[in-house]
Structure 1
Amino acid sequence: MDYQKLAELLFPSVTETPAEVEAKFPPRNLPEGAKVTRFAPSPTGFVHFGGLFPSTIGERLAHQSGGVFYLRIEDTDAKREVDGAAEGLIHTLAHYGVCFDEGAVIGEDGKICDKGAYGPYKQSQRGPIYHVFAKQLVSEGKAYPVFTTKEELEAMNAVDKKAEIKAKDWHEDQTEAREKMLAARNITIEEVEANLAAGNPFVLRLLADGDPEKKTPFTDLVKGKLEIPENDEDFVLLKSDGIPTYHFAHAVDDHLMGTTHVIRGEEWLPSLAKHIMLFRYLGFKLPKYLHIAQIMRLDENGNKKKLSKRDMGANMDDYSRMGYAPACVCEYIMTLLNSNYEEWHAQNADKPYTDFPFNIKKMSTSGCLFDFNKLNDVSKNVISRMSAKEVTEEVTAWAQQFDPDFGEKLARDPAFTESIFAIGRGGKKPRKDLATWADAKPYMGFFFDFVQEDQYDEKFDKADIKTALANFLTTYDTADDMNGWFEKVKAVAREIGYADDMKAYKAEPESYRGSIADVSMFLRVAVTGKLNAPDLYTVMQILGRDETVRRIENMIATL
């Protein structure tokens, strides 16, 4: 076989050589040890929670080492592509702090464009590059065409999808397709010319030389030492429309773009033998691989299942709607990625998660368990460390988008709103009422609209409640400090036969009608409508005398 002639027949319009293409993508001028990583999603829908994992790992590895983190859009499957998905994923990733040094970006006109010298960064625009290297493989006898009709192509695709099944188990039509594929290894120049003249399409397959009985030692940076059986499958490099498969595009793009570390899901481990062979055939240096564990969840029976696209928590757009702050989600992800993150954070509570020295060796080799309860705990801690001004701005912005009526109230008087969020903020033990911005309305909505959510327990005499509220109003003075205010509350308790000291009440509960805690509760429900609310003295100070008195008088009137 004259492989050079075969290459010219299959790729007559390809005139560039691999060396000429390589010259357009020179080695990056980076410090020693710098890592070049990428996030390479397909624009087929929303950003999955699991997508933040490889992107966060890639960003951390690159930026902690003085390297480069770039975005490549793998849009070679036009049938599955969703309009606007690429733009959406760029916006979503930026919202969660995943920013790229180069790659596909959104330009001033709102359309995707390239930033950087190693583009195009959309695979659909790199067709001529793939064909140069495809032609090289054919010219070296490492790849061959398989001409097919549409029906035959569908049958061979079925073979590819069942590549792990032994030949004896294949259906007859698939076996036929397999035999034709193997026969194509020995296709003649004359047969190629005849097929091309007839306009028959072809797929390009790699001519595998592996022996599956032999194993290649391989070290994955997450999974550790592995033994990979050699590949003996003649897998597709170019589809019949000339578009590359993931396998071929991965090798060509990551080589030319200088990727040093490939981060991807562990579901790609079975394809590793193909990629090792392909990099060897092309003469490319193999990058380092991190095959990361899938994100898991617990089902209704307590069993671990993969977090699927249909599960709550999978779609990153849902987190914005639910009101999770990006910093909270990012910090939660760090707790999943590195087992020592929480220990580090306990000693560095005031530092951002980006200061944490991310370590591949601390990554889990099994599935990370997604847990909303843990996310909420992390989120409460993060929000508790924010300033009142930050919280005010974030809650207001969220509410204006997702709860406009509430957003209008928050924005009406920013200073008033900020004073509310300042309650219990700061100090060694700040309040942790908010896990999401959506929690703000039930937490502090009573400042704007009084709604009695909780009722007084029927064990309390209404006369006691009315007397306590009325007596409080006779001495209420906004000029009192907290101690002075509380002394007056204690006096009200004594006046109606309630203990003004909890120790005394616990020692002799039968001697009192109730306790100071009960009197405080009477006031709290009257002013806030809730059994649980922020510090009552501060609440009254923020509401002001007129509103506080009005609410207490209204409660007296309704009892």
Structure 2
Amino acid sequence: MQSGACVTRFAPSPTGFVTIGSLYATFISERLAHQSGGVFYLRIEDTDKKREVEGSLADMLRTMREFGIVIDEGPSSPEEEIGAYGPYTQSKRVAIYQTFIKDLVARGLAYPCFCDAEELQRIRDRQQEQGVNTGYYGKWAIHRRMPLDQVNEALDQGRPYVIRFQSPGQAGRQCAYTDLVKGEIHMPENEQDVVIMKSDGIPTYHFAHVIDDYLMGTTHVIRGDEWLSSVPIHHQLFEVLGFPKPAYGHIAPIMKMDGQSKRKFSKRKDPDAAASYYQLAGYPSEAIREYFMTLINAGFDGWRIAQPNELYSSFPIDIRKMSVSGALFDLNKLNDISKDVIARMEAREALDQLTAWAAQYDQPLASLLAEQDNYAISILNLGRASGKPRKDVKTWSDFKPGYGYLFDELFVPTTAMAELLPAHVPAAEARALVHDFLHDFDAADDRDTWFGKIKALAAARGYAAEMKQYKKQPDAYRGHVGDVAAVLRVALTGKVHTPDLYDMLQIMGRERIARRLAAF
């Protein structure tokens, strides 16, 4: 690769649904790799089989695909993977880990520990009585220098064991490094003899990720700051193994408002913690990615204003400028960004994305859009040709309640429509206005001719043809031309707020218009 290119990864455990927080961290890793001309890969850390949830991997792959996060290497499906540095699933790499563990044991840098839970608790109790740090270290690591004949005897007896890393750390010494996000970090050096292989022969996360990050060429690791305290352990393992360390960046969790205070998202309490929440709502993946860009670097907002038509990926992120305390997830801002993203789309692109969403979450709508493709395009084009597209759709799930009434299959006229009429226009008068309009309507009329007919109709029925006339003498008229238009709008759509009336008439066609007005 070229100089300065980053190799980053998303390394989830298949233990449940993808959260919006993990998607955010993944997006940062993807951007770092691809903006530098590097590689972004997926690795599945499935060594804890007890916690594995069936279908998690397929859900992760689908979620990444739907949110537009593209991997260069790793599992492309639950059965297949791409790339030359595999296997990319840790459960298939156990022999690799055990090879390195054997080497550490041979060099006196790791050892078998035969302590059971009761013995470990006795050590802990004595440490608490003496007021010293708890754990398995120094003189408390009772199997650290167990004679070989005793080790062989324990093995011959079939006693279960784990493999522990013999830490070179000492109390009072510091581990110092520069975090990509948090800057200079100083922490006590690790002195614990941590477990690197469990009794079932499977490595722990600490050991497996060090081996994998080295063998897979990882240069930058972005992860949650809950892993910050593990850096001293990981640095020791890299050093003892003789591997170059990747650069670590620890990001604070995304926060949300709860009343007047901020808190972390809860996987149990917050439906919006799941990435699937945003998929179901129908946020375009580009909107989510654009919003993530604003969370990573505040400067993106100004860049977007100055570059309204550029791809978000043209903005280079700088994780040194990220918030150390954690970004606040603002749903209102996401909604605004999503409206802008949809408004920038060509009608065909919008329809393709809408149909793809509906195919998963609203099959009847998907079928309707496919059957009436040209009409759907016309609907989505409303306002776009003017250069000032409407911004009343923030998610694809907004389309049906916002525009579904334009399809006869989704339009249900009811007597309740009368309640939407202007308060001073009785139902009988509204019917008369509709009748007279339909009599003179010509779909071929241009806008000026059409509106001239509306004004003539208003005058003939005792309404002011001009608003200024009505404002001067409100008592001289039954209402104004806007009331006439409002009646027609309700009769045609069952709505008070819609796109431009003339524009709608142009796409609905004479037959549909006549049918609806007659029904009214």
- 2:252 corresponds to 1:287: no
Shift in alpha-carbon separation, 1:170–1:529, aligned structure 2, 3 A? farther
Shift of 1:319: 2.5
Cα deviation 1:52-94 (Å, max 9, x = unaligned): 1222111111111111111111010000112221222122212
Contact 1:62 1:68 in 2 (8 A): yes
Tell me if 1:190 matches 2:157: no
Match for 2:184: what amino acid? Answer: K
Q: Does 1:81 align with 2:18?
A: no
- The equivalent position to 1:483 in structure 2, one of 432, 448, 453, is 448
1:213 corresponds to: 172
| Runs of 4+ residues deviating >4 angstroms | 153-156, 174-181
Aligned-partner residue type, residue 153 of structure 2: A
* Match status 1:432 vs 2:399: no
CA distance in 2, matches of 1:541, 1:188: 91
Choose which of 536, 539, 554 in structure 1 pairs with 2:501: 536
Q: Is the 8 A contact 2:135 2:192 kept in 1?
A: no
TM superposition shift of 1:427: 3.9
Greater CA drift, 64-73 or 203-212: 203-212
The 5-angstrom pairing of residues 415-430 of structure 1 reads 415-430=374-389
**Contact (CA 8 Å) 2:253, 2:327: kept in 1 or not?**
yes
Query: What amino acid sits opposite 1:451 in the alignment?
Result: V
SS of the aligned residue for 1:263 comes to strand
One-letter amino acid of the counterpart of residue 308, structure 1 = S
> 1:99 corresponds to which residue?
70
The TM-score, its normalising length taken from structure 2, stands at 0.92
Shift of 1:457: 4.3
Partner of 2:17: 46
Q: Does 1:246 align with 2:205?
A: yes
Question: Who is 1:387 aligned against?
Answer: 346
Which residue, out of 397, 412, 421, partners 1:451?
A: 412
**Closer/same/farther in 2, CA of residues 154 and 88 from structure 1, 3 Å limit:** farther
TM-aligned CA deviation for residue 459 of structure 1: 3.5
CA 1:177–1:264: 2 relative to 1, 3 Å: closer
Alignment match, 1:467: 432
1:72 partner letter: R
Instruction: Summarize deviations over 1:388-445 as a string: whole Å, max 9, x none.
Output: 1122222223223322222222222211111111111144321112111111111121
Q: Judging changes above 3 Å, is the alpha-carbon distance between structure 1 residues 126 and 65 closer, same or farther for their aligned structure 2 residues?
A: same
Task: Classify the secondary structure of the residue corresponding to 1:369.
Answer: coil
Q: Which amino acid aligns with 2:261?
A: N
1:339 maps to which residue? 298
Q: 1:221-370 residue pairs with structure 2 within 5 A?
A: 221-299=180-258, 301-310=259-268, 311-370=270-329
1:168 aligns with 2:128: yes
CA contact (8 A) 1:69 1:101 kept: yes
Q: For residue 365 of structure 2, what is the amino acid of its counterpart?
A: F
**Could you tell me how far apart the structure 2 residues matched to 1:57 and 1:166 are?**
45
Q: Deviations over 1:310-330 (max 9, x none)?
A: 312222223222222222222
Q: Equivalent residue for 2:479?
A: 514
Hey, what does 1:8 align to over in structure 2? none
Percent identity reads: 47
Alpha carbons 1:87, 1:112 under 8 Å: kept: no
Distance apart, 1:475 and its partner CA? 1.8
* In structure 1, C-alpha distance between the alignment counterparts of 2:464 and 2:119, rounded to whole Å: 87
Write the letter of the residue equivalent to 1:104.
Answer: P
Tell me the SS of whatever aligns to 1:499: coil
**Alignment match of 2:81 (pick from 96, 114, 117):** 114
How many residue pairs align between the two structures?
513
1:241/1:472 Cα in 2 relative to 1: closer, same or farther (>3 Å)? same
Structure 2 CA distance, aligned partners of 1:478 and 1:502? 25
Partner of 1:547: 512
Structure 1 alignment gaps of length 5 or more:
1-29, 160-164
Q: 546-555 or 91-100, which moves further after superposition?
A: 546-555
